[in-house]
Amino acid sequence: MTDFSQLTTLRVGGPAARLVEPATRDELVATTLRTWSEPEDWLLLGGGSNLVVADEGFDGTVVRVVTRGIEVLTPQPDSPRSVRLRVEAGEPWDAVVAHTAAQGWSGIEALSGIPGSSGAAPVQNIGAYGQELASSLVAIDFLDFDTDSLIRVPAAELGLGYRTSALKHGRLGLVVGLELALANDTGLSQPIAYAQLATTLGVRIGDRVPVAELRAAVLETRASKGMLWDEADPDSASAGSFFTNPVVSEQFARGLPADAPRWPTAPEEAHRVLPLGADIPPITRAARGEYLVKLSAAWLIEKSGISRGFAIPGSRAAVSSKHTLAIVNRGGATARDVVQLAGYIQTRVMSEFGVNLQPEPVLVGVQL
């Protein structure tokens, strides 16, 4: 049997009772359908970068998606300055970004260095440094669990939001491939939307730089936080950011310390002029000033008294020494160690600020 400690970036988890790795798209579809028809439990696995499996392992069939390929589709006549790509689900995500950056195509360059496979990208609607997959995703090829049909699902039907999608909340099936639309005009990145990235590049928010230059800056930034796999760096054995940045009401955010980082999740509503006699539209939350605000989970963790490198005595799991959002395996950690530390962090933040941090990885056989 193969342990999940060999299949996940966090390096924890017990054995998979049965592991299959179909080599082609057709084999992947056939194998998955056959697995679904059997009575035992099943689990679809990509790069294992966003997964925590119990020490007892998984008593069922694990279908590991390893199909690879990047295909440039026929240029779209209505979009001469864009390029369409079809990406197989098992293609490592960073390999896709590396390929597009080398061509000077923009749209996903700030998503450089995110581990895992491409098929998992729309499930989480991956995002970093001011970009999200949602802005470039056109559609997915989806093997629907309810109908056993391979269908094309437009991105607009996936309910893509902050680190979430309909695929994460009830729509069962397998992402077989992605279709992406990227800009193919100047060789420049999309406007930079993240302050730290702009500072690293020595430019201003909203500026554009060569795509390859922005990719290099993102990789440098991620490496400084232990967010790139490096066998010599113990902080890189993680599942990436373990908690999502919480989204709260503006009223709640006002009760936090003045130095708590916060970002509005929607732009201010524009003023509207109505003709005489027109019906007055309902007053929206934004018009009443009731905005939702995104907070920094890292700031909340640090201000609750948990510092970088923190570990519960006797545990082999620890907070990264470079970035408080990551829980790392210092060597020999168990899933129980990881969950215990994550629960402790949740408790401290809740006690100090009244905010319930939500885990970003998928938890199998364990819970917080």
Parse the chain into domains and list their residue ranges: 2-64, 70-224, 227-267+285-368
Calpha distance 148→346 (Å, rounded): 39
The predicted pLDDT at position 80 comes to 61
The predicted pLDDT at position 138 comes to 97
Digitized pLDDT (tens) for each residue of the chain, 368 residues in all: 899 999 999 999 999 999 999 999 999 999 999 999 999 999 999 999 999 999 999 999 999 999 999 999 976 666 667 899 999 999 999 999 999 999 999 999 999 999 999 999 999 999 999 999 999 999 999 999 999 999 999 999 999 998 899 999 889 999 999 999 999 988 999 999 998 899 999 999 999 999 999 999 999 999 988 888 887 888 889 998 999 999 999 999 999 999 999 988 764 444 455 566 666 565 555 445 568 999 999 999 999 999 999 999 999 999 999 999 999 999 999 999 999 999 999 999 999 999 999 999 999 999 98
> Residue 136 catalytic?
no
Which of 82, 241, 304, 320 does the annotation list as catalytic? 241
> 42 burial class (0-12, 13-18, 19+ CB within 10 angstroms)?
middle
The predicted pLDDT at position 225 comes to 87
Closest CA to 297 of 325, 271, 275: 325
> Residue 320 catalytic?
no
Q: What's the CATH code, domain 227-267+285-368?
A: 3.90.78.10
Which of 64, 163, 215, 348 does the annotation list as catalytic? 163
Calpha distance 354→50 (Å, rounded): 26
The predicted pLDDT at position 267 comes to 47
Q: How far is CA 230 from CA 4, 127, 169, 223, 319, in A?
A: 19, 21, 32, 9, 17
> 336 burial class (0-12, 13-18, 19+ CB within 10 angstroms)?
middle
> Residue 241 catalytic?
yes
Helix (H) or strand (E) holding 206: none
- What is the CATH architecture assignment of 70-224? 2-Layer Sandwich (3.30)
The predicted pLDDT at position 74 comes to 72
Calpha distance 134→128 (Å, rounded): 12
Which CATH fold would you assign to the domain 2-64? 3.30.43
Calpha distance 221→181 (Å, rounded): 26
In the DSSP assignment, the letter for residue 42 is: E
Query: What residue ranges in 188-228 does DSSP mark as E strands?
Result: none
Which of 91, 109, 179, 360 does the annotation list as catalytic? 360
Q: Determine contact, residues 358/248, Cβ cutoff 8 Å.
A: no
Calpha distance 302→174 (Å, rounded): 37
